[in-house]
Chain A
């Protein structure tokens, strides 16, 4: 406890870094996956291949991906961009499936009705399909959010600092308190992001209760 109080500024700085490294991939993954998932749900024949590319990406373990990306993108090993790109890929890979399922869950009669009422394709997407797909999209986002927050800490192994740095540092110094503080911090960030997602969903979709699900952590 004294260690935590003495190093509060340091832990806070790492917490902020951790949060930034988690939120960017979440947003990027969501924005990338949304159109791909929509496309996959509209074109049944391509759906299978789009989803298998997603699950293939998701199969790649995180540490090797962090190490391979620099030679593909021409970045330095220590560049936080590697972690951000890797986690965005994972987030998009999972969200594509969620988004495709989400748009599938929009009843065909509703689509027909919106067309018959004279909604343009774009207006139907934003005003009809997206809101109705919302609950399933949210369930996907919550899964991705938890796993992304946990994965950010692996970046500490390749020198990208986050709360994971408390793990590598604590293990080097044989100091359990530091590691425990790090674990608590990571779980708290996951909890806070999850709560924010649920609250945002309540604001944006007051008509629906919230769905739950689960995902990956390495």
Chain B
């Protein structure tokens, strides 16, 4: 029997679809880690990015930090965090949060920067307060790039959470790491197919949200024109 058909058997075996090590549970874990990490990272990175974009302060620092953080090897960061904080959910989660920050930060400040300065000046001239300028003019116009930042952060974290199975995180990565360790190729390939599927589906979802946000932008621009 070929590896491909064994993989299909693994994916369709009802024994793999129930319990704590079953596909639905692993999938939920994976989505949960991703949501949690991106959510917490967004709480830090988005307000910071909006502030940097709005005031223009520390822009060079932000570019430098996000740029150099991208050069950090994720596997190295995961390994290091794991041995210093031990086994458990906290260590990999901290690493995932740290890795989700650069794209979110970049999306937020570049989004605000993409807004036409004349629009911002016009909003101020109409007597809007700085908060109103930010929340009612800049954020709606920055939305497509902001969502773009969330999109790349999500993909980054889905991929890294898979790798993090090697330092004992749950999620779909377990199938890859465990399957590889015991040379159970159907399990390993089945898990890989599931991770790839999840990444493609999430990317599709965020692409549609981005499209909607773009619609929002053109509505705002249309309202501005009339």
Residues of A within 8 A of B (CB): 56, 59-65, 67-68, 71, 77, 146-147, 149-150, 153-154, 156-158, 163-164, 166-168, 170-171, 174-176, 179-180, 182-183, 186-187, 190-191, 212, 214-218
Contact B195 A61 (CB under 8 A): yes
B189 touches A60 (CB 8 A): no
Complex interface residues of chain B between 171 and 211 (CB less than 8 A to chain A): 173, 176-177, 180, 185, 188-189, 191-193, 195-196, 199-200, 203
Number of B residues whose C-beta is below 8 Å from A? 47
Residues of B within 8 A of A183 (CB): 72-73, 76-77, 80
Q: Which of B71, B162, B167, B192 contacts A68 (CB 8 A)?
A: B192
- Evaluate whether A147 and B70 lie within 8 angstroms (CB atoms) in the complex, with A71-B4, A171-B83, A214-B106 already known: yes
Do A218 and B156 touch (CB < 8 A)?
A: yes
- A61 partner, pick from B83, B177, B189, B199, beta carbons under 8 A: B199
Majority secondary structure, B binding face:
helix
Q: Does B67 contact A (CB under 8 A)?
A: yes
Cβ A146 vs Cβ B71 within 8 A: yes
B16: interface (CB < 8 Å): no
Contact call A186/B177, Cβ cutoff below 8 A:
no
A177 to chain B, nearest CB (A): 10
Neighbour of A59 across the interface among B70, B76, B155, B160, CB < 8 A: B155
Q: A168: which B residues are within 8 A, CB to CB?
A: 75, 79, 166
Taking the nearest CB of chain A, how far is it from the CB of B43, in angstroms?
22
State whether the Cβ of B84 lies closer than 8 Å to any Cβ in chain A.
yes
Residue of A nearest to B66 (CB): A214
Min C-beta distance of A211 to chain B, whole Å:
13
A64 to B70, CA, bound (A): 21
Task: Give the A-B contact count at a CB cut-off of 8 A.
Answer: 140
A179 touches B195 (CB 8 A): no
A211 to B66, CA, bound (A): 16
Closest Cβ–Cβ distance, residue B133 to chain A (whole Å): 27
Q: Which residue on B lies nearest to A55, using beta carbons?
A: B203
Given contacts A60-B196, A67-B192, contact A217 B79 (CB under 8 A): no
**B23 interface residue per 8 A CB criterion:** no
Could you tell me the distance in whole angstroms from the C-beta of B165 to the nearest C-beta in chain A? 9
Are the C-beta atoms of A191 and B163 separated by less than 8 Å? no
* A-chain residues with CB within 8 Å of residue B78 when the two chains form the complex: 167
Of the A-B pairs whose beta carbons lie under 8 Å apart in the complex, a sample of 19, sorted by A's number, is A59-B199, A63-B159, A63-B163, A64-B195, A67-B180, A71-B4, A71-B189, A77-B180, A147-B70, A150-B74, A154-B75, A157-B180, A168-B75, A171-B166, A179-B80, A179-B83, A187-B71, A218-B159, A218-B163
B223 sits at the interface (CB 8 A): no
Q: A residues within 8 A CB of B82?
A: 171
Contact in complex: B75, A164 (CB < 8 Å): yes
CB pair A167–B71 under 8 Å, yes or no, is no
B73 and A186 within 8 A (CB): yes
- Cα of A147 to Cα of B102 in the assembled complex, Å: 14
**Is the Cβ of B73 less than 8 Å from the Cβ of A153?**
yes
Known A154-B74, A179-B83; 11 more pairs at CB < 8 Å: A61-B199, A65-B196, A147-B70, A156-B75, A157-B180, A167-B76, A170-B83, A176-B84, A186-B72, A217-B99, A218-B163
Contact of B71 among A150, A174, A212 (CB under 8 A): A150
- The residue of chain A having its C-beta at the shortest distance from the C-beta of B152 within the complex is A216
Among A61, A65, A182, residue most surrounded by chain B Cβ atoms (within 10 Å): A61
B158 interfacial by beta-carbon distance below 8 Å: yes
**Once the chains bind, are A150 and B83 in contact (CB under 8 Å)?**
no
Which A-chain residue is minimally distant from B82 (CB atoms)? A171
- Cβ contact within 8 Å between A217 and B74: yes
**Inside 8 A of B79's CB, which chain A residues have their CB?**
167-168, 170-171, 179
Known interface pairs A146-B71, A215-B70. Does A176 touch B196 (Cβ–Cβ under 8 Å)?
no
Tell me how far the C-beta of A26 lies from the nearest C-beta in chain B, rounded to whole angstroms: 15
- Set of chain B residues within 8 Å of A63, measured between Cβ atoms: 159, 162-163, 173, 176, 192, 195
Q: Tell me which of A157, A187, A212 contacts B72 (CB under 8 A).
A: A187
